[in-house]
Amino acid sequence: MWIIKPNYNKHQTCFYCGKNKAIADKENTTTLYKIVDRGKFMLSVNYLKIDIGIPRCEECYKRHKKAGKPTCLIFLIGIIIGIGLCFIYDLPFFKFSSEPSEWFGTIAVLATIVLMWFIACVMVGSLIRIIINAFMKGTKDEENNENYPPIKKLLDIGFMSQKPDAAAHYGKTIDFDKTILENTFKSITDENNCIIRRGQ
Ligand SMILES: [Zn+2]
């Protein structure tokens, strides 16, 4: 595993607003992965993991914290309304049949409704987040992380934000070039004011 950190000994400007001074403990972090080779077992792969710190100022840290809140709140309200509606309308799936063989259908209906409600809540939460972000002029949302130059450079050479799925890569060629990675690391250190070190 590798760690890429902004070099705070040199002046670091916040990536999100591009004007304030970044503070080390308000830093945002994200993780990228890349498969390097196939593992010992048939369905396993070895991958590199890099934790990247994104320079952030106090103000942007607070804004990001606020932006996440409506999603959680809507979700909570959504669940309460959902359960409330089920009780008010006395929906039939609340009455478990005495016949265990009929339980499967009840559970399936219940699971579908919970899942749909979950999706709806996430969608409303995201929508609110988009609206709030539209009003946060001059400040980038956390979703913009992929534009942070070191992250962009790593994405360009095939890193991904999701943990590699070994099964999905079964039978596919794995292209990993150590030299390309070293050159990218050098460019991140030299041009982007970062310190790269090995982690655990
Ligand atoms: Zn900022």
- The encoded tokens of residue 159 equal 């890193």
Instruction: Give the pLDDT confidence score for residue 94 in this predicted structure.
Output: 54
Residues 97 and 128 in one domain: yes
Instruction: Give the pLDDT confidence score for residue 28 in this predicted structure.
Output: 94
Beta carbons of 15 and 57 less than 8 angstroms apart: no
Please state the domain count of the chain.
2
Q: DSSP assignment, residue 163?
A: P
To 10 degrees, what angle do helices 149-156 and 178-191 make?
A: 170
Query: For residue 133, how far is its CA from the centre of ligand 1 (angstroms)?
Result: 14
Residues 28 and 71 in one domain: no
Instruction: Give the pLDDT confidence score for residue 138 in this predicted structure.
Output: 64
Query: For residue 103, how far is its CA from the centre of ligand 1 (angstroms)?
Result: 53
Domain limit, last residue, from 135, 153, 176: 135
Query: For residue 39, how far is its CA from the centre of ligand 1 (angstroms)?
Result: 41
Residues 111 and 174 in one domain: no
Whole domain around residue 112: which residue ranges?
A: 61-135
Residues 106 and 146 in one domain: no
Residues 131 and 76 in one domain: yes
pTM of the model: 0.69
Residues 130 and 72 in one domain: yes
Query: For residue 140, how far is its CA from the centre of ligand 1 (angstroms)?
Result: 8
Residues 66 and 30 in one domain: no
DSSP 127-148: HHHHHHHHHSTT---GGGGGGS
Residues 127 and 86 in one domain: yes
Instruction: Give the pLDDT confidence score for residue 55 in this predicted structure.
Output: 96
* pLDDT per residue as tens, the chain (200 positions): 999 999 999 889 999 999 999 999 999 999 999 998 887 777 788 899 999 999 999 999 988 887 767 667 777 787 788 777 777 776 655 565 667 677 777 777 778 878 887 888 778 877 877 777 777 666 777 778 999 999 999 999 999 999 888 777 777 778 889 999 999 999 999 999 899 999 87
What is the separation of C-alpha 150 from the centre of its chain, rounded to a whole number of angstroms? 17
Query: For residue 138, how far is its CA from the centre of ligand 1 (angstroms)?
Result: 9
Residues 53 and 149 in one domain: yes
Instruction: Give the pLDDT confidence score for residue 195 in this predicted structure.
Output: 95
Residues 170 and 193 in one domain: yes
Residues 23 and 52 in one domain: yes
For residues 8 and 14, give the distance between their C-alpha atoms in angstroms, rounded to a whole number.
Answer: 11
Domain limit, last residue, from 116, 135, 154: 135
Domain limit, last residue, from 103, 135, 167: 135
